[in-house]
C-alpha cells in the first residue's frame, strides 16, 4: 500500500473541467501504481480547489475515482501546513496559534519571573517556539500582509517573550520582544523568505551554466 503523500494539480476554466481532468489524471496515476503491484488508499485521498475570492466549489462537490467518492474540502493539511482554497493561510495560522500558545504556556510555567532558569535557557525556550512558528515560512510569508494573520502569530510570541524577559503581563508586544532579544517573527519571516528565494535563484543560475 502506498504510504507516501503526493500532490497533483490541474487547471481548467470551470469546476467541471478541473474535476474531469483531476479524475482522469488520478485514475491514470492509480492505474500505474497498481501495475507495480501496489495499492493506493483512495479513502485517505483529499481534494482541494484553489479559487478566487468570489468563487468556490459547488456545494457537495466531489471527485469519484475507482468508485470512491473524494469530497472537495475547504482546507487540507499537507506536510505540516494547512492549505486553503483562497491560499491566504488563515486556517493555518488559526491552527498554529492554538498549538503555539499551549506550548508557550507550558514552557512559561518553567520560567518564573523570580528565580528560575538563566537567560540562556530562556532564550533556548524562545527558540523552540520560534522554530514551531516559522516552519514553512517561505511558503506563507505573503499571507502576513493580512493583519489577522500577523495578530495570530504575535500572541504566542508575546507569551513566551514576557516569560523570557521576566516582564509583567501588561507590557506591550514590542517592549516584550525588545527585552527578550527576539525580533518580531513577522520580520524574521521576511528575511527567511528573501534568503530562500535568493538561494533558489542562484541554484537556477548554476544549473543553467552546468
Nearest to 132 by CA among 173, 109, 104, 162: 104
User: What global pTM score does this model have?
Assistant: 0.77
Q: What is the phi/psi pair of residue 54, to 5°?
A: -110, 15
pLDDT for 8 equals 56
Three-state DSSP class for residue 48 = strand
Q: Is residue 23 within 8 Å of 65, Cβ to Cβ? A: yes
pLDDT for 196 equals 93
**What kind and span of H or E run contains 46?**
none
Q: Which residues contact 111 (CB under 8 A, 6 or more apart)?
A: 117, 122, 125, 163, 164
Q: Is residue 153 within 8 Å of 104, Cβ to Cβ? A: no
pLDDT for 2 equals 44
pLDDT for 9 equals 58
Count of other CB atoms within 10 angstroms of residue 177: 23
pLDDT for 63 equals 84
The stretches in the chain having pLDDT less than 50 are 1-4
Q: Which three cell numbers stand for residue 26?
A: 488520478
pLDDT for 3 equals 46
pLDDT for 139 equals 92
Q: Which three cell numbers stand for residue 65?
A: 475515482
Interval 78-136: pLDDT, tens: 888 999 888 999 999 999 999 999 998 888 788 777 777 788 888 888 889 999 999 99
pLDDT for 112 equals 75
Q: What is the phi/psi pair of residue 119, to 5°?
A: -65, -35
pLDDT for 141 equals 93
pLDDT for 188 equals 94
pLDDT for 210 equals 66
Q: Which three cell numbers stand for residue 196?
A: 530562500
Nearest to 156 by CA among 117, 107, 191, 89: 107
Amino acid at each position: 500500500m502506498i504510504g507516501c503523500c503526493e500532490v497533483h494539480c490541474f487547471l481548467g476554466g470551470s469546476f467541471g473541467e478541473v474535476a474531469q481532468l483531476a479524475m482522469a489524471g488520478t485514475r491514470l496515476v492509480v492505474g500505474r501504481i497498481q501495475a507495480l503491484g501496489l495499492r493506493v488508499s483512495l479513502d485517505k485521498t483529499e481534494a482541494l480547489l484553489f479559487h478566487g475570492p468570489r468563487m468556490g466549489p459547488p456545494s457537495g462537490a466531489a471527485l469519484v475515482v475507482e468508485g470512491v467518492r473524494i469530497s472537495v474540502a475547504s482546507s487540507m493539511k499537507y506536510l505540516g501546513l494547512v492549505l486553503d482554497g483562497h491560499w491566504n493561510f488563515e486556517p493555518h495560522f488559526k491552527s498554529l496559534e492554538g498549538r503555539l500558545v499551549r506550548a508557550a504556556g507550558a514552557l512559561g510555567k518553567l520560567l518564573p519571573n523570580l528565580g528560575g532558569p538563566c537567560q540562556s535557557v530562556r532564550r533556548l525556550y524562545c527558540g523552540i517556539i520560534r522554530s514551531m512558528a516559522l516552519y514553512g515560512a517561505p511558503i506563507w510569508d505573503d499571507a502576513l500582509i493580512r493583519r489577522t494573520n500577523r495578530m495570530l502569530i504575535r500572541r504566542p510570541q508575546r507569551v513566551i517573550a514576557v516569560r523570557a524577559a521576566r516582564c509583567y503581563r501588561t507590557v506591550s508586544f514590542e517592549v516584550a520582544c525588545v527585552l527578550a532579544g527576539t525580533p518580531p517573527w513577522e520580520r524574521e519571516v521576511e528575511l527567511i523568505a528573501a534568503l530562500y528565494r535568493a538561494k533558489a535563484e542562484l541554484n537556477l543560475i548554476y544549473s543553467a551554466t552546468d
